[in-house]
Amino acid sequence: MPSTSRSASPTRTTRTAPKPRHRRLPALAALATAVALAVGVAAPASAAEPASPSAGTAAGTADRHLPPIHPELDFAGSTVAAHEGRGPGAPVAALAVTQTPGLDVASYQGNVNWSSVRANGARFAYVKATEGTTYTNPYFTQQYNGSYNAGLIRGAYHFALPNRSSGTAQANWFVDHGGGWSRDGKTLPPALDIEYNPYGATCFGLSQSAMVSWIRAFSTTVHTRTGRYPTIYTTTNWWATCTGNNASFGATNPLWIARYASTVGTLPAGWSYQTIWQHADSGVFPGDQNLFNGAFDRLQALANG
Neighbours of 155 (CB within 10 A): 30
pLDDT at 115: 98
The answer, yes or no, to whether residue 288 has pLDDT greater than 70, is yes
pLDDT at 96: 74
pLDDT at 92: 61
pLDDT at 95: 74
Q: Tell me: the pLDDT tens digits for 10-35?
A: 333 333 333 333 333 333 333 333 33
Residue 72, SS3 per DSSP: helix
Return the active site residues: 104, 193, 195
pLDDT at 54: 32
pLDDT at 28: 33
Among residues 165, 139, 63, the alpha carbon closest in space to that of 156 is found at: 139
Task: Give Cα separations from 43 to 113, 152, 212 (angstroms).
Answer: 46, 48, 28
Q: Which of 49 and 168 is assigned the larger pLDDT?
A: 168
pLDDT at 65: 66
Going by pLDDT thresholds of 50, 70 and 90, the confidence category of residue 245 is very high
Q: Tell me: the pLDDT tens digits for 125-135?
A: 999 999 999 99
Contact 69, 54 (CB under 8 A): yes
pLDDT at 122: 98
The answer, yes or no, to whether residue 47 has pLDDT greater than 80, is no
What is the mean predicted confidence (pLDDT) over 256-274?
Answer: 96
SS3 content of the chain, % helix, strand, coil (to 5): 30, 15, 50
pLDDT at 90: 60
The answer, yes or no, to whether residue 249 has pLDDT greater than 70, is yes
| CATH superfamily of the domain spanning 80-304 | Glycosidases (3.20.20.80)
Neighbours of 81 (CB within 10 A): 15
Contacts of the segment 136-141: beta carbons below 8 A, 24+ positions apart:
136/177, 136/178, 137/106, 137/107, 137/178, 138/107, 139/106, 139/107, 139/109, 139/110, 139/111, 139/112, 140/177, 140/178
What is the mean predicted confidence (pLDDT) over 206-233?
Answer: 98
Domain boundary assignment for the chain? 27-66, 80-304
Instruction: Tell me the pLDDT of the chain averaged across its residues.
Output: 82
CA angle (224 as vertex; 146, 270 as ends), nearest 5: 90
The answer, yes or no, to whether residue 285 has pLDDT greater than 60, is yes
pLDDT at 267: 98
pLDDT at 93: 60
Q: What is the DSSP letter of 8?
A: G
Q: What is the DSSP letter of 57?
A: -
Rounded distance between C-alpha atoms, residue 265 and residue 274, angstroms: 10
Rounded distance between C-alpha atoms, residue 91 and residue 283, angstroms: 13
Q: Tell me: the pLDDT tens digits for 156-193?
A: 999 999 999 999 999 999 999 999 999 999 999 999 99
pLDDT at 94: 65
| Strand ranges, E, within the chain | 100-105, 124-131, 135-136, 153-159, 191-193, 231-234, 255-258, 276-280, 288-292
Q: Which helix (H) or strand (E) holds 34?
A: helix 27-38
Which of 86-90, 115-119, 188-192, 202-206 shows the lowest per-residue confidence on average (mean pLDDT)? 86-90
pLDDT at 123: 98
Q: Which amino acid is present at 90? A: A
Q: Tell me: the pLDDT tens digits for 52-98?
A: 333 333 333 345 567 889 999 999 999 999 999 988 766 666 677 89
Residue 289, SS3 per DSSP: strand
Start-to-end CA distance of the chain, whole Å, equals 32
Rounded distance between C-alpha atoms, residue 134 and residue 61, angstroms: 10
